[in-house]
Amino acid sequence: MKAKNQFSLSSKYWLLILSLVCIILMGLSGFAGKSRGVLSWIAGYTVVPMQKGINYVGLWMSDVSDNFATMEDMKKENKELKEKVAEMTVENNRLQQNSAQLERLMELYKMDQNTADYPKVGANVIASENSNWFTRFTIDKGSNDGIKTDMNVLSGAGLVGIVTEVGPTWATVSSIIDDKNVSSMMLTTFDKCIVSGDLKLINEGLVKFEQLENNENEVKIGDQVVTSNISDKYLQGLLIGYVADIGVDSNNLTRSGHIIPATNFHELQEVLVITTTKEELKNRKE
């Protein structure tokens, strides 16, 4: 048999060529930053619509598998929930008192922006970045719906992350637990700290905070942690979570500890996107 075609390269050379392509691409995307132009748009128009469709099937399937939960579990859960309702009622009363107090305090501090005041758009999570190492996901709203990069994303309960990439009908959200640092503060004392995610901690349901000034202001377990007024990407006053534990660092100047996030990052279905960015807010003020 004759050689099929003399022009076919051996696999060694292909490996070399494609490796070089990869390395060049990595270099280019490292320098060029987030924009990847045409390629990303192509993917957005072909892959994302399919993901949207299949996602509904997936939702249905997880519903079905949930239905297999036995009656016994349900009964047990019901009992637990009833106990919880009682607990919550007490808690709610306390919180209502707190909120009245908070309103007064806010007025005092002239915090005229509350999270409720920001205009929001609801969106569905349609796909996750398929890796167990990072928590990134795609939502079904894009620039056509007015989504822009750096917009903050919330779940019903608290801060989820920030929009990093936008297509016409989709956007990618990077969550705060992907070792991103978020400038935040204690709602009770207004002391600033840095919140960052960690793969190990989030499996235990925690994120960590650092560099809280070690002053006479007492921080209690259960105190709310919100985004700070000095963050240049996150809007002020978005709930991140509640203090789980706190300790003084060995340098005796700062304190650090853990936070229980208000959002359950593993079960995100719907999110809210705040359609104002911090940038716009700053410019408006000037």
Residues lying near other proteins in the complex (CB under 8 A): 10-11, 14-15, 18-19, 21-26, 28-30, 34, 36, 39-40, 43, 47, 50-51, 54-55, 57-59, 61-62, 65, 126-134, 136, 138, 164-165, 172, 174, 179, 199-200, 203, 266
Angle at CA of residue 252, ends 248 and 257, nearest 5°: 25
| Contact between residue 167 and residue 143 where contact means Cβ atoms under 8 Å apart | yes
Q: Which is nearer to other proteins, 170 or 209 (CB)?
A: 170
Assigned token pair, 167:
């297509």
Q: Which is nearer to other proteins, 34 or 79 (CB)?
A: 34
Tell me how far, at minimum, the Cβ of 35 lies from other proteins, in Å.
Answer: 11
Q: Which of 280, 183, 173 is nearest to 240 (CA)?
A: 183
Element (H, E) at 113: none
Beta strands in 188-253 (DSSP E): 192-196, 207-213, 224-227, 239-248
Q: Which is nearer to other proteins, 143 or 189 (CB)?
A: 143
Tell me how far, at minimum, the Cβ of 234 lies from other proteins, in Å.
Answer: 18
Q: Which of 219, 228, 124, 106 is nearest to 173 (CA)?
A: 124
Q: Which is nearer to other proteins, 24 or 221 (CB)?
A: 24
| Contact between residue 127 and residue 55 where contact means Cβ atoms under 8 Å apart | yes
Burial of 266: CB neighbours in 10 Å, binned 0-12, 13-18, 19+? exposed
Q: Which is nearer to other proteins, 10 or 251 (CB)?
A: 10
Tell me how far, at minimum, the Cβ of 136 lies from other proteins, in Å.
Answer: 7
Tell me how far, at minimum, the Cβ of 15 lies from other proteins, in Å.
Answer: 5
Tell me how far, at minimum, the Cβ of 232 lies from other proteins, in Å.
Answer: 19
